[in-house]
């Protein structure tokens, strides 16, 4: 078995506490009764997929999601509902990244979007005093910036090529089984992080 050299982390549910139900409920209160079909932990409809791959602007997203609802819902309400799922960073986990980085190359691979990216960077700075989460990694890959998203194989291929690493020497940690399944198929070592489990609880050797 190849020696472990690299660890690739998901963000939400791994480093950052999130709650999809909070956003689901917030959108329901705005009248979006089908929001769970539009977006959830494991899938996204065409609009949210475009947002998470950076293929539409924030304004285009707001225009589409507000279409026909302008009288009852506004942009600020949508932003608040959308960001409600972002809770707080796991500070013990962030500290543990410093220890891991002494032995392994660390990377971040996250499905996200420009709205969430701005919001969680603010949360991170307020909690930790660090200017940017990215300083803990050799490189951070955000779906909206690379125009690819998990669980599609192309984003994993992109990371491998860009970072010049091999899957058999790399551990991928995520809290969504569909992302884990793709990584495993491609030869990565994988760990599905379960609710209540933290990366500092795992064995890496």
**What single-letter DSSP state applies at residue 138?**
S
**Active-site residue 10, yes or no?**
yes
Given a cut of 90, whether residue 181 has pLDDT beyond it is: yes
Given a cut of 80, whether residue 205 has pLDDT beyond it is: no
**Within 10 A of 162 (CB to CB), how many other CB atoms are there?**
12
Active site residue: 10, 34, 59, 174, which one? 10
Q: How far apart are CA 105 and CA 32, in angstroms?
A: 42
**Within 10 A of 56 (CB to CB), how many other CB atoms are there?**
21
Q: What is the pLDDT of residues 83-136, one digit of tens each?
A: 999 999 999 999 999 999 999 999 999 999 999 999 999 999 999 999 999 999
Q: Give the model's pLDDT for residue 29.
A: 95
pTM (whole model) above 0.85: yes
Q: Which domains does the chain have, with CATH numbers?
A: 6-17+89-201 (3.40.50.1000), 20-83 (1.10.150.240)
In 136-202, which residue ranges form alpha helices assigned H by DSSP?
143-146, 153-163, 177-185
């Amino acid at each position: 078995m190849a020696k472990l050299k690299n660890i690739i982390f998901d963000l939400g549910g791994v480093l950052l506490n999130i709650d999809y139900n909070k956003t689901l409920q917030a959108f329901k209160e705005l009248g979006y009764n089908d929001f769970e079909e539009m977006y959830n932990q494991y899938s996204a409809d065409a609009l949210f997929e475009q947002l998470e791959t950076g293929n539409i602007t924030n304004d285009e997203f707001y225009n589409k999601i507000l279409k026909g609802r302008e009288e009852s819902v506004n942009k600020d309400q949508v932003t608040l509902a959308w960001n409600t799922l972002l809770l707080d960073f796991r500070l013990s986990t962030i500290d543990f990244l410093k220890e891991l980085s002494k032995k392994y190359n660390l990377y971040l691979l996250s499905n996200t979007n420009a709205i969430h990216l701005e919001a969680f960077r603010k949360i991170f700075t307020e909690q930790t005093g660090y200017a940017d989460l990215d300083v803990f990694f050799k490189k951070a890959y955000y779906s909206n910036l690379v125009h690819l998203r998990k669980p599609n194989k192309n984003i994993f291929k992109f990371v491998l090529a860009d970072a010049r690493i091999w899957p058999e020497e790399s551990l991928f940690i995520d809290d969504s089984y569909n992302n884990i399944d793709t990584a495993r198929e491609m030869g990565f070592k994988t760990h599905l992080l379960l609710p209540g489990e933290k990366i500092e609880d795992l064995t890496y050797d």
